[in-house]
Amino acid sequence: MIGKGRLVERVRTGIEGFDELIEGGLPRGRIYLVAGETGTCKTTFALQFLYMGARNFGESGIFVTIDEKPERIIEDAASIGWDLEELIDQNKLMILEISPFFSDIKEISAKRIAEELKLHIKQLNAKRLAIDPIAPLVLKEEEGGLRTQNVIRMYLKELFDSLEELNVTTIATSEIPTGTNTLSRYGVEEFLASGVIVLRLIREGTVFSRELYVRKMRGVNHSLNAYPFVIQYGRGIVISI
């Protein structure tokens, strides 16, 4: 006899209009990929997930930045009405620059990344994590030449499994190369993540707009439609549904 499965707790994202597309929120404790070309607001999506989580839902978060300095992230957030420094001072938010962690070592393991993050998660009692973007956490070369696709897949699987053991809900951003149909740098991240949210630019004549759709969400009866969204001061991403 097959018993009833336990209900999965949902995490409200704080992104206006999004939770309605996924039955009320993200299943807790999993990893979700936010994919898009340059300029589609991937960083804003990830940061809004943390900012609204800390401000409105009492869940502290950690933003792991790969490409930007923390001070730039704080400045950019302020331009749309988000005071990140206040949350940082209240120990509700941490912006962790990963670059110094890579500077002194030639190789890094997925478990070592997770162990480093675990220390900060424990310190902040964080429930949410954002990694912007995920691809640079995979070193491109190993002894003897470029990593094979199989090696990359195994590495990323170990990384995703290690991150899920941290008991946080994770948003990881992924750059889609302009003009391609891929969803990630290596072409395997989308298969390992529990969900994939795609952000894209739409052109009509000389006018560009942005839209979002849920490509995948395990265990969720999600909408398959594409929805336009805008960035509003103080509110961040607002989806029209």
- In order along its 241 residues, the chain shows pLDDT tens digits of 334 456 789 999 999 999 999 999 999 999 999 999 999 999 999 999 999 999 999 999 999 998 899 999 999 999 999 999 999 999 999 999 976 655 554 556 788 888 889 999 999 999 999 999 988 777 544 544 446 677 788 888 888 898 899 999 999 999 988 877 788 877 788 888 999 999 999 999 999 999 999 999 999 999 999 999 999 999 999 999 8
Residue 79: inside a domain = yes
Q: What is the pTM of this model?
A: 0.91
Number of domains in the chain: 1
Residue 3: inside a domain = no
Burial annotation 81-92 (CB, 10 A radius, 16+ → b, else e): ebebeebeeeeb
Q: What's the one-letter identity of residue 126? A: A
Q: How many C-beta neighbours within 10 Å does residue 146 have?
A: 10
Residue 56: inside a domain = yes
Tell me how far apart the alpha carbons of residues 38 and 24 are, in angstroms, rounded to a whole number.
28
Residue 8: inside a domain = no
Backbone angles phi, psi at 33, to 5 degrees: -95, 130
CATH of the domain at 87: 3.40.50.300
Residue 189: inside a domain = yes
Closest to 40 in 3D by CA, of 159, 155, 181, 197:
197
Domain limits for position 209: 28-239
Residue 17: inside a domain = no
Residue 200: inside a domain = yes
Residue 2: inside a domain = no
